[in-house]
Chains A and B, each alone.
Chain A
């Protein structure tokens, strides 16, 4: 864990199936992290099995919609709502969808590509 990132890049379309397979093999979902990169979002899905960390990276171009993994991992609703509210990433079929009311912020989607707007 401490030398290797265990990072694998997958396509957005593979996401739901990957999550389903991992769930079947007994992995625990650790977290989902979104990072804003130029014209896209970089999502990192982290899973844990026997105290080893495995990371899956998905690059989501701006404006693209992705599917929720809440049918495999119900707990993902926390992160998916967070990404939706703070980053403005469009995620479909979240099991518990707060419709943008999970985090109410002064400015909507504060993490969303500010740089692009300024240019």
Chain B
């Protein structure tokens, strides 16, 4: 048996945009065990409930993560709305779904770029991020922000989108779709890309279920889990079907995200065309009392929100469980038995979002 060596990976590492630390136990070039340590980004924002009112928390939840900012905001809103039994107008639900799916497009493009960067395909990285800028322009046009939007409020949304802008949006996204297809072609068919992804970091369906994985990570292993099926937003009205791949390797996880990218763009176009007229918000009275849970499918998987109010303007407890948090066990498992050179690709393939994880 070869001698065991421990190699520290992170927190500051060229492939990682965010700090996470892994102790990799190696035998020669093979990883036998990976021990994660997190906490570099831990802020303790859940405890801000004691200092901020429940309406002010909107701005805090948005800043849980700068990539799925809108989703976290929506999830928190959703939990409060369920707790206070607020009926959100239909148009607001359409608008939220629209922004959320656009966020998914930007998040997946970002991820494809990071993946390309992880296996050393710099020009592909730059192309992904170039296309992503068009989505950010749409955000800026409709909300005023590139990253943090602040358009949600409890009971609806702050801003409406005019019919002209909706039409323009559909045209832009349809144009992007063509270019994205070209990019996806590289990820799916290019030999040098396949060499890095096929058969790397395999996790079977049983293992993924056992490790409670969520999101595209789990769907790449054939697990049917997608919170969009549970009836939040307007996914039931726009004919949503989850995307599942069976192989369970990094390639399958990439395929899931590529196909979701196209699916999300189609959904955006459909929403732009079918959005009904109506109010965008209802007034909300009273203070939250009692407790409730809400779940939402983020670009990275299922996110969980828990709120507990006591009838005052400050909540008693707000809890966010983010997708990366529960995918860490999956990451540890998929690293076992891989070679050291594949570690960056496997780490990127769960689409880690550390600042979500640690809050």
Binding site for B on A (CB under 8 A): 1-2, 5, 26, 28-31, 33, 35, 44, 46, 48, 51, 53, 55, 73-75, 77-78, 96, 98, 101-105, 110-111
Contacts and interface: CB of A to CB of B under 8 A. Distances in A.
Given A28-B209, A33-B321, A35-B316, A103 B358 contact: yes
Contacts of B174: none
28 contacts: A1-B295, A2-B82, A5-B292, A5-B293, A26-B209, A29-B212, A30-B304, A33-B306, A33-B319, A35-B316, A35-B317, A44-B306, A46-B304, A48-B225, A51-B229, A73-B212, A74-B211, A75-B211, A75-B329, A78-B326, A101-B37, A102-B38, A102-B39, A103-B42, A103-B358, A105-B39, A110-B47, A111-B47
A111 B306 CA distance: 16
Contacts of B319: 31, 33, 35
A24 B345 CA distance: 33
B212 A103 contact: no
Which bucket holds chain B's interface residue count?
35 or more
Contacts of B230: 1, 51
Nearest to B321: A31
B27 interface: no
Nearest to A101: B37
Contact of A31 (B291, B317, B326): B326
A28 B317 contact: no
Contacts, number: 74
Contact of A105 (B44, B225, B227): B44
B308 interface: yes
A30 to B, nearest CB: 6
Task: Pick the 4 closest A-B CB pairs, nearest first.
Answer: A31-B321, A75-B329, A75-B212, A103-B39
B295 A78 contact: no
Contacts of A102: 37-39
B210 interface: yes
Contacts of A96: 35
Nearest to A28: B212
B47 A31 contact: no
Contacts of B37: 98, 101-102
Interface in B334-359: 358
Nearest to B325: A78
B101 interface: no
Nearest to B39: A103
Interface in B69-105: 82
A53 B295 contact: yes
B291 A5 contact: yes
A28 B329 CA distance: 14
Interface in B101-123: none
A53 B35 CA distance: 30
Contacts of B317: 33, 35
A103 B225 CA distance: 29
Contact of B304 (A31, A73, A105, A110): A31
B329 to A, nearest CB: 4
B39 A104 contact: yes
A103 B293 contact: no
Contact of A46 (B44, B209, B293, B308): B293
Contacts of B38: 102-103
Contacts of A74: 210-211, 329
Interface string B278-298: 000000000000011101000
A102 B20 CA distance: 12
A98 B39 CA distance: 12
A11 to B, nearest CB: 20
A29 B212 CA distance: 6
A2 B302 CA distance: 16
B310 to A, nearest CB: 11
A105 B309 CA distance: 26
A53 B302 CA distance: 12
A30 B325 contact: no
Interface in B221-235: 225, 227, 229-231
Interface core residue of B38, B82, B225 (most chain A CB under 10 Å): B38
